[in-house]
Amino acid sequence: MSQTGPKLRAELGDIPTYKPGRPAPVRDGMPAYKISSNENPFPPLPSVQTVIADAGSQANRYPDMFATALVARIASRFGVPESHVATGTGSVGVCQQIVQSTAGPGDEVVYAWRSFEAYPIIVQISGATAVRVPLTADERHDLDAMADALTDRTRLVFVCNPNNPTSTAVRRDELERFLDRVPIDVLVVLDEAYREFVRDPDVPDGLQLYRDRPNVCVLRTFSKAYGLAGLRVGFGVAHEPVADALRKTAVPFGVSGIAQAAAMASLDYEEELLDRVQVLVKERTRVATALTDQGWPLPHSEANFVWLRLGERTDMFASACENAGVVVRGFSGEGCRVSIGEAEANDIFLQVAAEFAPAG
Ligand SMILES: *Cc1c(COP(=O)(O)O)cnc(C)c1O
């Protein structure tokens, strides 16, 4: 066929499109809630909103390209050297920087599946080959199988902990055993977007594990626990050659001054924000208990969402939720991921779940 426009890279042809959580439908007389994107249902604290508004008065200026003040703040908060911290436009931005830094055509990137839907997109854009390792029957990373999947072409492995969308977390023993099996020249990314929601003491903190491992990079974000999803700021922590590469591959001035200021303010008011996280964790327990009582075989959630393996009933369930006034995230033929939101939203979801319960 003759060319009718600019030639685009072949890799883009069959790229899956990132499917954002649908916005809540507007309907009169009935509340509608969005519990489809793992967002924090609490708006930014008034104190943080003031910082955001103030930072807006500087919007005619470019931001600090390397987010120097924020990096210093993150380094002191988490007890890591400043040279180990690199920021990005959300941790999705940092994921992209990581793939660009490590993998291209001919290289392999290993990740569990199903996991975070940004991984396949970012890997495919890079031209590298994705190697997907199925989750275990109980919806967890199969770290042994992931280690078995490494070849001499592997450059990068993602471990999403807790895993989006199945909510399960890997434990310290199994993760350390896995890391011991990964060659030193393969980078392992511990994507800890939901770290603040973890309560199981056996789920390791990546920031402990990375210290004596130069091939481990930890990803954190201000989007979930800190409630700044709309401002796009996240960061990676890794030893110097890796952190340097993440700075080189960052979009110049990608993290806005408003986002930098808001992230710093979130660390200033962290205690108050983590109290809110605790409210959501309690709500998670309430929701999980109710679902278990309804007869659902629920994977144990360490995140701010739960996972229902609905199989063929997924689309039906998602529509029923929407008709009842809550939007959830369905993965057709597999299951629904439902964020822990406002109590009223969770109640509506639980009512629908009761109707679909396997035991009922
Ligand atoms: C939400 C999420 C992120 C980060 O999102 P950003 O808003 O880009 O920081 C990263 N990884 C996983 C697994 C997520 O679910």
pLDDT in tens, 101-147: 999 999 999 999 999 999 999 999 999 999 999 999 999 999 999 99
CA of 126 to the centre of ligand 1 (A): 19
CA of 220 to the centre of ligand 1 (A): 8
Q: pLDDT tens for residues 153-177?
A: 999 999 999 999 999 999 999 999 9
192 lines ligand 1 (CB under 6 A): no
Tell how far CA 303 is from the center of its chain.
10
**What's the whole-model pTM score?**
0.96
Q: Which residues contact 314 (CB under 8 A, 6 or more apart)?
A: 330, 331, 332, 333, 334, 335, 336
Nearest-CA residue for ligand 1 atom 6 is 90
Amino acid letter for position 131? V
Please state the atom number of ligand 1 nearest to the C-alpha of residue 221.
9
Tell how far CA 245 is from the center of its chain.
21
CB count within 10 Å of CB 319 equals: 13
Q: pLDDT tens for residues 53-75?
A: 999 999 999 999 999 999 999 99
- Per-residue buried b or exposed e for 175-184, using 16+ beta carbons within 10 Å of the residue's own CB: beebbeebee
330 lines ligand 1 (CB under 6 A): no
CA of 9 to the centre of ligand 1 (A): 26
121 lines ligand 1 (CB under 6 A): no
92 lines ligand 1 (CB under 6 A): yes
**In this model, does residue 330 exceed pLDDT 50?**
yes
CA of 1 to the centre of ligand 1 (A): 40
